[in-house]
Structure formats: structure tokens, C-alpha cells
Amino acid sequence: MYQLFDYQQKLVDGARKALAEGHQGVLIVSPPGSGKSVVIAEIARLTTEKGGEVLFFVHRKELVNQIKDSFIKQGVNLNNCTIDTVIKIANRLNRIPKPSLIIVDEAHHTRARSYIKIINHFSDVPLLGFTATPWRMNGKGFNDIYSSMVEGPQVEWLIEHKHLADYTYVSRILGNKKILKSNSISDYTGRSMDQFIKSINFGNMIDTYKQFAENRKTIVYAPSVKSANTIASKFKDNGFNAVEVNAKTNKLERAKIMKDFKAGKIKILVNVDLISEGFDVPDCSCVIMLRPTKSLVLYLQQAMRCMRYRPNKKAIIIDHVGNFETKERVKVKYFGQDNEIKTKVEKYSFGFPRDKRNWTINGRSKPTRSGDKGPPIKTCIFCFAIIPANSRVCPICGKKVPIKVKEKERSAISVLNLEDETKMKVLDSPDKHSDLFRTTYIVTQDPSTFNTYKQFLDYAKAKHYKPGWAYYHAKAKGLIR
């Protein structure tokens, strides 16, 4: 049997207390990797031990198999359990025994039609939902399904108390993010993500992997099957054992791939929306995000997949698409000067896995993150790690970095605040012909010193000005006739 940690036992006790107080639906919230399956198994054991019937369902077959293993380890009486995917349960409601407790995993999906069908069919049965992220892209809450919420510790606490691995977050944008398009309440379109992948510099992807994560067990997130195959091929071309897998991969082949990855026979697993929720590989210590998303749920589930705790483990999160910068529009209510309640729209970035989250079962009328935005940060221009803004030396690569840095949103490459080229050479800069050097040099120069049309064009591109700006100024200086 599992020995529950104190915080896990508190979740069990909190859920039972809420049900005893008469709440028909209780939502249990705890971060990815914090051991929700252990809590679920213990609650199921306590229920079946008294002769109760448990109905458990989730949206994917792989998660069903995982929870069965957890139930067996915890001594749950499986004869008193119905465990299956939500689709199968919804299609045979009249053929399963009436439960005394319903347990839903990955409960942020609860608003889906099939889930509601099951819950309404057993409307008089107590409901427990488990999730790391009670968040929907359309802003709708869960308070019409769950009347109470029991929340576990924050990610920072779990890292400090060695229940999650700490991490280094590296951001190096490889493609043109301006290509990405979406509807206001949905994720990026498949077409725009495919276009984005076409703009990626795969050589820089390989270089970043070699610098930070070579020989680490790695999960790569891709936006499409075609792009996943391309990414896997690029790794294999450079001598790395990489395999692509997706939801349409033959079941037997997929099972073998997953087994080989867990056993260490496969080092790099490139997947398409398959490995996020519930996939447990504790010795995976790196994730690479090449799948841009506007979903906070997907971002956290993917970014934290490498943070399962192991002694002395320091995970690496490589964000090639700038997901941590993704902005969410949130309606915020406040009191105006006339004491009337007013509403305004504010933007909040997704931030990092360890950021504090103010989860709620209500619809989003306030930020999902706390008002404290945390310490200022910057990107090291040499290794692209996200580090404290006041760092004089990068704690990751050990190179000297300037304190005054302006973050470029599109490229995630910091712009040096230097006066001339001579000072730049003192900083042990990368090769002066590299894109990094050109970007750094051109942005810090005075346009009045330019003597070629190309200099104006490069400056306009770095500053996100239209090409017409470069044409106008170059012509005014007599460089164009």
C-alpha cells in the first residue's frame, strides 16, 4: 500500500469532510505530479472497504490502466468498482451498478457533454472531481457542478519540500510567432501552427538540446503528426534515438513505444497531444515545447511533465514557442469612485510552473495568477535560460550578462544596452556574424549613423517597424533614388 504524505492525507480528509457537510460535488485541486492517483486510490479503498460501489472514469484508456494499477497497489476491492473511459460509461449507463461515489479524474473536462450525461444520470450520487488545473479557455467555471473545492499545496511548496523536482526554464524562440492565429476563445489553428513549424530553425533546436539536455530522457511536444515526424527525423539525423507517437499510432505499437521509453530504450519521445495528463515517467528530466498553445491547462500539464521528483534531479524545460509569455484576457471586477462595481479587461501571462495560482470553481472574473507578479526576469543572451533580472553572471552558463536588458517579445533574445561595438566585444559575445550579434548591434545604434539601405531594413525588422519606414528614411538620406 501507498504511504500517503501529510498533504495527500489532508486532501483525503478535506474531501470526506466536504461530502459529510452535504456538498454533492467536491473538486480536489493539486498540481501535476503531486500524486493525485494516490489520493484517489485511498478514497476508493475507504469506500469499497465499507461495501460501497465506486464509479471512476476519465477520458483516455492509458489513464484507466494507470488508475487500475494504483487501485490494486492500494488494496481497493475492484469487484466493487466500475473503471472505464467516459465514452464507454456514457454508452452503457443502464448496465452498470449504481455507485455510492463517483470519481472523475482530469475533472477540468467535466463540462463536456458525455461527462454531464453521466453526472445527470446519477444526480443523487456524491461526486468527487480531481484536477491540477480547474480552468477552461472560455472562462466558464465549475460551480454548477461542484459546490466546494479542496485545494492542495502550491508548486513552490512542493518543490521546497522535495515532492516535485526543481527546474531550469530555457526560452529560445525558433520560429515566427506572428504566423500564429486563433479565435478569441480557442487554441491556435492547426494551419497556423503548421506554418509556424515551417519557420523553425531546427539547427538551433538541436544545438539547444545538446547544450542543456543531451542524454536526458526527453518528451517533445509537437502540434501535428507531420511536424512530429519532421522533428523526430531531425533528432535522428543528428544521432539521437527519437521516436514519433500520436493518438492514431497502432495501439500495440504505441504500447511498445511507451514501454521502451519508460525502460530507457528510447531517449526522445516526440508526441502530438498524447502525453500530458497523467503520464508518469519519474526519470524523464526534460521537456521540449514545440507546440504553441493558448490553453493554460495544456501548458502546465506539458511543462511539468519532467518535474516528477527524484533525489538530486534538476529538470530542464525548453520552451521554443514562448508559451510562458502567452497572454490571457481576464475580466476583472473593481469598485469605481462612485462605489459601483465596474469591469475591465486585463492581460496576464501564463508565467512559469512555480508561479502561485489563485484557482476557483467560479467563472474567471479575476486572474488565475496572484497579484504578485514575482521578481523581474531576463533571458541570458548566451544560453537563453530565464534568470533573475539583477544577475551579473548567468547561474546556468556562467557567462557575464548585462543587468540592463530589454526583452524582445518575438525572439526572446535580450538586447544589450550598449553604446558602441567596442564595448560589445568585451562581453565575450558569440560570433559577430551570427543573428544574435547583428540583432544586438543594430538595435543599439543610432539610425542617423546608417549609410546603407540594408541597415535601415535590419533596424526596422528588429524594431518591428514596417518596411516603408526603412524606405522613407533611406530615401531621405539619399540612399535610394
Considering the domain architecture, whether residues 104 and 247 belong to the same structural domain is answered as no
**So what's the pLDDT on residue 465?**
74
User: Which is nearest to 358 in space by CA: 105, 108, 110, 149?
Assistant: 149
Considering the domain architecture, whether residues 135 and 30 belong to the same structural domain is answered as yes
β-pairing, 314-319 vs 166-171, is: parallel
Considering the domain architecture, whether residues 137 and 203 belong to the same structural domain is answered as no
Considering the domain architecture, whether residues 59 and 112 belong to the same structural domain is answered as yes
Among residues 153, 188, 213, the one where a domain terminates is 153
- DSSP type of residue 431: P
Does 394 map to a domain?
Answer: no
Cell of 393: 553572471
Query: Sheet containing 166-171: which strands, arranged edge to edge?
Result: 166-171, 314-319, 286-289, 218-221, 268-272, 242-246
Whole-angstrom Cα distance, residue 241 to residue 232?
9
Cβ contacts of residue 289 below 8 Å, gap of 6+?
A: 221, 302, 303, 317, 318, 319, 320, 321, 323
Considering the domain architecture, whether residues 268 and 192 belong to the same structural domain is answered as yes
Considering the domain architecture, whether residues 111 and 17 belong to the same structural domain is answered as yes
Q: What is the dihedral of CA 143, 144, 150, 153, to 10 degrees?
A: -50
Considering the domain architecture, whether residues 196 and 341 belong to the same structural domain is answered as yes
73: left (phi over 0), alpha (psi -120 to 50) or beta: alpha
Cell of 12: 483525503
**So what's the pLDDT on residue 145?**
95
**So what's the pLDDT on residue 109?**
92
User: Which is nearest to 42 in space by CA: 60, 20, 67, 66?
Assistant: 67
Q: What Cα–Cα distance (Å) separates residue 313 from each residue in 132, 162, 375?
A: 22, 10, 24
Among residues 319, 349, 379, the one where a domain terminates is 349
Cβ contacts of residue 68 below 8 Å, gap of 6+?
A: 78, 83
Question: DSSP string spanning 274-304?
Answer: -SSSS---TT--EEEE-S--S-HHHHHHHHG
Considering the domain architecture, whether residues 90 and 199 belong to the same structural domain is answered as no
Does 474 map to a domain?
Answer: no
**So what's the pLDDT on residue 430?**
37
Does 220 map to a domain?
Answer: yes
What is the domain-level CATH number for residue 50? 3.40.50.300
**H runs (alpha helix) in 238-272:** 251-263
Structural domain count, the chain? 2
Write 463-467 long-range contacts (CB < 8 A, 24+): 464/410
Considering the domain architecture, whether residues 144 and 174 belong to the same structural domain is answered as no
Burial of 453 (0-12, 13-18, 19+ CB in 10 A): middle
Question: DSSP string spanning 315-336?
Answer: EEEEESS-GGG-EEEEEEEEE-
Does 224 map to a domain?
Answer: yes
Does 36 map to a domain?
Answer: yes
Considering the domain architecture, whether residues 275 and 253 belong to the same structural domain is answered as yes
Tens digit of pLDDT per residue, the chain (481 long)? 899 999 999 999 999 999 999 998 999 999 999 999 999 999 999 999 999 999 999 888 778 888 999 999 999 999 999 999 999 999 999 999 999 999 999 999 999 999 999 999 999 999 999 999 998 888 888 999 999 999 999 999 999 999 999 999 998 888 888 888 886 667 888 888 888 888 888 999 999 999 999 999 999 999 999 999 999 999 999 999 999 998 888 889 988 998 899 899 999 999 987 776 556 778 899 999 999 998 999 999 999 999 999 999 999 999 999 999 887 766 655 556 666 766 766 667 888 999 999 899 988 755 555 544 555 677 777 777 777 777 778 877 778 877 643 433 333 333 333 233 333 333 333 333 333 333 333 344 567 777 888 888 877 776 667 788 888 788 888 888 7
**H runs (alpha helix) in 102-187:** 113-121, 155-160
Centroid of chain to Cα 341: 34
Does 51 map to a domain?
Answer: yes
Among residues 153, 186, 218, the one where a domain terminates is 153
Considering the domain architecture, whether residues 16 and 105 belong to the same structural domain is answered as yes
**So what's the pLDDT on residue 363?**
81
For residue 144, the number of C-alpha atoms closer than 13 Å in the C-beta half-sphere is: 7
Cβ contacts of residue 28 below 8 Å, gap of 6+?
A: 11, 14, 15, 36, 39, 128, 129, 130, 131, 149, 150, 151, 152
Whole-angstrom Cα distance, residue 458 to residue 331?
38
Burial of 294 (0-12, 13-18, 19+ CB in 10 A): buried
For residue 286, the number of C-alpha atoms closer than 13 Å in the C-beta half-sphere is: 20
Does 191 map to a domain?
Answer: yes
Considering the domain architecture, whether residues 170 and 292 belong to the same structural domain is answered as yes
Cβ contacts of residue 12 below 8 Å, gap of 6+?
A: 4, 39, 42, 43, 46
| Helix H or strand E segment including 220 | strand 218-221
Does 478 map to a domain?
Answer: no
**What is the extent of the structural domain holding 283?**
166-329+337-349
